[in-house]
Amino acid sequence: MDCGFNLKELPNLLDFDYGHIEKSRERQCRAWRFEKNDWPLIFVGAPLNERQKAIPEFNCGDTFFDKSKMLCSQVRMACCASNGRSDTVPSIRANLGTGILLACLGLEQEAFPDKMPWLKEHMGKEEISRISPDDIKIRGSFERGLDMMRHFREILGDKVPIYVMDTQGPFDLAHLLLGDQLFLEMYDDPPFVHHLMEICLALGIKTHKWMKEAACESISLMHHSNALFSDSFGIRICEDTTALLGEEQIREFAIPYSVRLAREFGNAWVHYCGCNDALTDAILEAPEFKVLNFGHIPGHEHEIDFYKNIEKFERQRKVNWNWWPKMPNENEGEYLRRLHHYAGKGVLAPCISPSETGFNSASELLKCWKDLGGV
């Protein structure tokens, strides 16, 4: 495959400060365990430098099928993460869409040039009723993703950590597999839904192990999201579809299976988009979940109550890794002090943009953050 760029040049263009990155790993590990650091965690990115701009960028359709184009696009983002010189730990992955794990059951996503791949086909109830964990096999685009991960290691060695493909929690996988019929079957045929959930749990366990093997990453250690590192939890679990449920369905059909998945990998951190108080409470109550990230919906950023939620994290001694918007009428200094206050308590690990806080660069923002004091 020819991406029009000499991939052997990539290691020379990284410009990573590996000493700084190792300190960031240590700081993150302490924070996730609720141990003290000299100053609170902060995640900040920065633009590519002039040398790194030589790395080409490609659209989603190109990278879905081409491992060299995927590598170039991922390395560009990793460089931005590293250039911020904050607590971010850069990492890369085969970024093949939320439905990639379903390829192991024979379902394939559609690829698009202007957006991420999406799974449009589903399995029917009768077919799902007949399948077992033995039907989960390495094949299709998932197999191509594993090949991408091995290609990354061949080119970069251990210079940039590789993390797993886009993994969803068991309930999200169930929704992808069955489609919207899932919401009716929870009421009409709960035993079938529990069978479906067992299949999706097995899918999550098997695929994570295959991907961690390809990434040469241990079971309970994790790089993720071109930012996170932990030695006290090994995977991320997404609960995007779960956020649509009521408390009874959350606690019967979703959280028990996510907890079992987390236990296989020495605990987990969780992401979901939007806000569901019952889901937040169930996640924070589970000892297997150490960190929670909310995905803010564009145009609805202020619908998630910062203070109400951060107090929940404080009560449960969990960490919120998140970008939070400025409050209405809040100036840049007030915004930064608000986030620093809760980060100092160990319950917030904020992602902050220099431009949103009135700074010209990541270095200026970081200096102000440290000048606000330790924990």
- Write the CA distances from 252 to 178, 184, 190, 191, 224, integer angstroms: 18, 15, 10, 11, 28
Hey, which residues does 235 pair with through a beta bridge? 268
DSSP-derived letter for residue 327 is P
Return the pLDDT at 2: 66
Residue where the block lists tokens 């991408």: 148
CATH number (domain holding residue 345): 3.20.20.210
CA angle 250, 265, 232 (to 5 degrees): 100
Taking residue 220's Cβ as centre, other Cβ atoms within 10 Å add up to 16
Return the pLDDT at 3: 78
Please give the Cα distance from 149 to 19 (Å, whole number). 25
| DSSP characters over 255-317 | HHHHHHHHHHTT-EEEEEES--HHHHHHHHH-TTEEEEEEEPPTT-GGGS-HHHHHHHHHHHT
Please give the Cα distance from 151 to 214 (Å, whole number). 10
Q: What is the signed CA dihedral for 19, 81, 237, 166, rounded to 10 degrees? A: -120
Number of domains in the chain: 1
Q: What's the half-sphere exposure (Cβ side, CA atoms, 13 Å) at 236?
A: 23
Please give the Cα distance from 177 to 212 (Å, whole number). 23
Taking residue 229's Cβ as centre, other Cβ atoms within 10 Å add up to 24
In a domain, 1, yes or no: no
In a domain, 2, yes or no: no
| Residue 279 one-letter amino acid | L
Return the pLDDT at 226: 98
Taking residue 154's Cβ as centre, other Cβ atoms within 10 Å add up to 11
From the list 292, 258, 256, the residue with the least C-alpha distance to 275 is 292
- Write the CA distances from 141 to 120, 124, 155, 170, 326, integer angstroms: 15, 21, 21, 20, 40
Return the pLDDT at 1: 56
In a domain, 94, yes or no: yes
Q: Which two tokens stand for residue 297?
A: 């919906």
- Spatial contact of 136 and 203, defined as CB atoms under 8 Å apart: yes
Q: What is the signed CA dihedral for 84, 96, 323, 24, rounded to 10 degrees? A: -40
Please give the Cα distance from 256 to 197 (Å, whole number). 10
Hey, which residues does 110 pair with through a beta bridge? 118
DSSP-derived letter for residue 326 is P
From the list 201, 189, 178, 198, the residue with the least C-alpha distance to 125 is 178
| DSSP characters over 174-223 | HHHHH-TTHHHHHHH-HHHHHHHHHHHHHHHHHHHHHHHHHHT--TT-EE
Pairing of strands 319-322, 289-295: parallel
Return the pLDDT at 90: 98
Going residue by residue through the chain (375 aa), what tens digit of pLDDT does each one get? Answer: 567 899 999 999 999 999 999 999 999 999 999 999 999 999 999 999 999 999 999 999 999 999 999 999 999 999 999 999 999 999 999 999 999 999 999 999 999 999 999 999 999 999 999 999 999 999 999 999 999 999 999 999 999 999 999 999 999 999 999 999 999 999 999 999 999 999 999 999 999 999 999 999 999 999 999 999 999 999 999 999 999 999 999 999 999 999 999 999 999 999 999 999 999 999 999 999 999 999 888 888 888 999 999 999 999 999 999 999 999 999 999 999 999 999 999 999 999 999 888 899 999 999 999 999 876
In a domain, 354, yes or no: yes
- Spatial contact of 129 and 59, defined as CB atoms under 8 Å apart: no
Range of the domain at 99: 7-371
- Spatial contact of 42 and 350, defined as CB atoms under 8 Å apart: yes
Residue where the block lists tokens 């071109």: 226
